Structure formats: structure tokens, C-alpha cells
Amino acid sequence: MASTGIAPPIIADAVVDTIGNTPIIRLSTTGNRAQIELLAKTEYSNPSGSIKDRVAQRIIANLEASNKIKDSATTLVVPSSGNLVISLALLSPQHGHYKIIGLVPERTSQDRIQLLKSLGVDIVRTPIEAHADSAESQFSIAKKIATDMPDAILIDEFVEQANVKVHSEQTAEEILIQCEGRLDVLVVGVETGGTITGLAKTLKAKIPGLKVVGVEPEHSSIHDGVNRSGAWKVEDIGCNFSPSILDKSLVDEWIQVTDQDSYSTARKMIREEGAFCGPSSGSVVAAALHYTESLPKDPSQKLRVLTILNDTARNYTSTLLSDDWLLEHDLMDETMAKSVAYHRH
């Protein structure tokens, strides 16, 4: 049974049937509670801990519908920041045990690399500064492997329409039901653009006046497409080009967030909200707080703002959750430093 319905099964036949139908929680980190209702869709509640379970499920369903998967003879070649590869590996045993080669950027945390290895994925690390068109980029290497290898299929989430459709047809429908159609602002982290484009397409059509805010790291190029070979620490959002599946006309505003703000907001979410989210979710919540602070105050109106928390903090025990790593990369702020002092007594 595919989990495209809204009511979750009481006893699922398999883990894959628990993909989607993620809870929305009300956050209390905003200092503006009288006028802002800040919400978060907890995509970290998906079985592998990220939103990409939904995308992987749709990609595999499409490949099976066109008879492209030939059991373990098939190899999926996947250039991805990591989460999609984990999700595809989660689905492999139930779909003929296809093999996976994951091309993941060097910034990908050791935790995710370990997880990928334990799932039997072959990993190729690629330089983060390589532009998509260069021979060393994860895309060029993936294309070469997929061309040279028999029965290999290139899965490119940056051009894959399933990456948009699953969010426009499934995630957005869940949001409409959960929010009872009432939403003023949607704030989404962007890498491939699949989530923001899919959600904005459906939600803007059904909720007049909805504002959509795209979030990327400082030095990323998505908002204007100008390659500045930017470097940042936050994984899974940002890119040094504008992906083709991203429909920028649906995005009303772009906010760039520093690594420092992203990591400290994620740590705050974990400590104060009990929301076990990763650094890109920290970027999204930091951007939502910044966006709402800049709005004109209208005491007669309470704005409902929805953020998407895309993956779990447990992907980052060696980075986000490591005080030593934060200190080493100069990402420890005052509030986090207090917790270090406390823990080291």
C-alpha cells in the first residue's frame, strides 16, 4: 500500500508504507507570538529521517512502472547531497535489491557516509567547489559512470520531475488538510528546488495571497544563477547554479542565511523545542524568524507561517551535535557556549 492517502495505516505492512503523513508542530522560538503562529512540518519523521523518502518512493514507482528495474542487475547512479541516496537504499530490498553508487560532496557528514556504507551503497566523494559543468563535478562523474556501466540508471534529482510532482501531489495536499487551507507564509530550504516548486505550485493555486520564501546559504547562487563558487558548511541546501526544475516565478522572496545562524538555530530547535532537526532546518527557521521580524506589525492579524524541517539531527552527530566540531569551525555562539561550559563541569 503506497502512503499517498492522508490517514496513516494503524499497522503498516512495511517501513516504506510509513513514508509521508508527517506531523506539523507549533514552535515557540519566535519572540513575536502575539502576531505570528510559527509552524513546522517535521519531515525528519520520515523513516530514514528525511523528506527525500517521498522523492525516492516516487522515482522507484516510476522506474518500476516502465519496467526499468531489473533486480540486482540494476545500478542506480545518484549524484546527491546524501539524503536521496539513503532513501533509495531504504527502498532497495523491497524492489529487487538494486545496487546504488552515490556521488556525494565532500561536505557530507561522516555520519551519513557511515549510514550509506552500512546500507551497502558504494560512495564516491566529489569536490564541493567543482561547478556542475566541470569534469570533476558529481554530475559529470555520475554521467560517465552511468554511460560506461551496463544496466546503470542515472538518477538526477536536479532535473527529475518526480521530485516536484511528489510534493505538489502529496506533501502539499497533506499541508492543505493539516492547516485547513489557512496559511500566510511558506518558508522552504532550496537545493534542487523540488520541494519549493512542488509545494508552491499547489498551495499558491489553492491559497490566494500565500507568500513563498526560498532559503539558501550565504554565498549560494540559486537566487540569481551567478556562479560565485561559494563555500558553506550547511549541508543539503544551496548550489552554485540555478536548478532547472526550480520555478523561480513561484518564489516571492529569497533569504540567505549564514552558517552561524543555521547551526545555532538548529541547536536551539533541538534544545528548546525538542525538534531533532538538521542544519538546513536551522537555516529555514532562522529565515522565517528574520522574515516575520521585518513584516509591518498589525495587531488585528495573526500570520500563520509554515517552515519545513527537512531532516534529522541524528544525521549530524559529528558536526551539528559536536561541540568540538562547532568550536573548530568557529560556529559556536554564546548560547551554545553556555551549554559547553555546563557539559564540561
When the beta carbons of 190 and 331 are compared against ligand PMP, the nearer one is 190
Q: Which is nearer to ligand PMP, 20 or 278 (CB)?
A: 278
In whole angstroms, how close is the CB of 35 to ligand PMP at the nearest point?
27
Q: Classify residue 204 as exposed, middle or buried by CB count within 10 Å of its CB (0-12, 13-18, 19+).
A: middle
List the beta strands (DSSP E) in the chain: 24-26, 36-42, 75-79, 99-105, 122-126, 152-154, 185-189, 211-217, 253-257, 303-309
- What's the start-to-end Cα distance of the chain, in Å? 51
Which CB sits closer to ligand PMP, 291 or 316? Answer: 316
Contacts with ligand PMP by CB under 6 A lie at 50, 52, 81, 83, 189-195, 236-237, 278, 280, 310-311
Q: What is the C-alpha separation between 103 and 123, in angstroms, rounded?
A: 6
Buried b / exposed e over 117-133, threshold 16 CB at 10 Å, is: eebebebeebebebeee
* 41 is annotated as an active-site residue: no
Of 182, 195, 205, 223, residue with least CA distance to 309: 195
- 153: cell is 540508471
The CB-of-82 to ligand PMP minimum distance in angstroms stands at 7
- Using alpha carbons only, what angle is made at residue 248 by residues 244 and 253, rounded to the nearest 5 degrees? 145
Q: How far is the CB of 308 from ligand PMP (least distance, A)?
A: 8
| Distance in Å, CB of 83 to ligand PMP, minimum | 4
Our CB check for ligand PMP shows the closer of 145 and 239 to be 239
Residue 342 CB, shortest distance to ligand PMP, in Å, is 28
Mind giving me the DSSP string for 236-296?
SS--SS--TT--GGG-SEEEEE-HHHHHHHHHHIIIII---B-HHHHHHHHHHHHHHHTSP
Contact 146, 153 (CB under 8 A): yes
User: Measured from the CB atom, is 46 or 74 closer to ligand PMP?
Assistant: 46
- Smallest gap from residue 46 Cβ to ligand PMP (A): 11
Nearer to ligand PMP, 71 or 106 (CB): 106
Closest CA to 20 of 176, 160, 174, 191: 174
Residue that the C-alpha cell 535489491 belongs to: 97
**SS3 category, 303:** strand
Closer residue to ligand PMP (CB): 156 or 191: 191
Euclidean distance between CA atoms 156 and 138, whole angstroms: 10
In angstroms, the CA 7 to CA 4 distance is 9
Task: Identify the active-site residue in 41, 52, 99, 211.
Answer: 52
Shortest Cβ distance from residue 214 to ligand PMP (Å)?
Answer: 9
Positions marked catalytic: 52
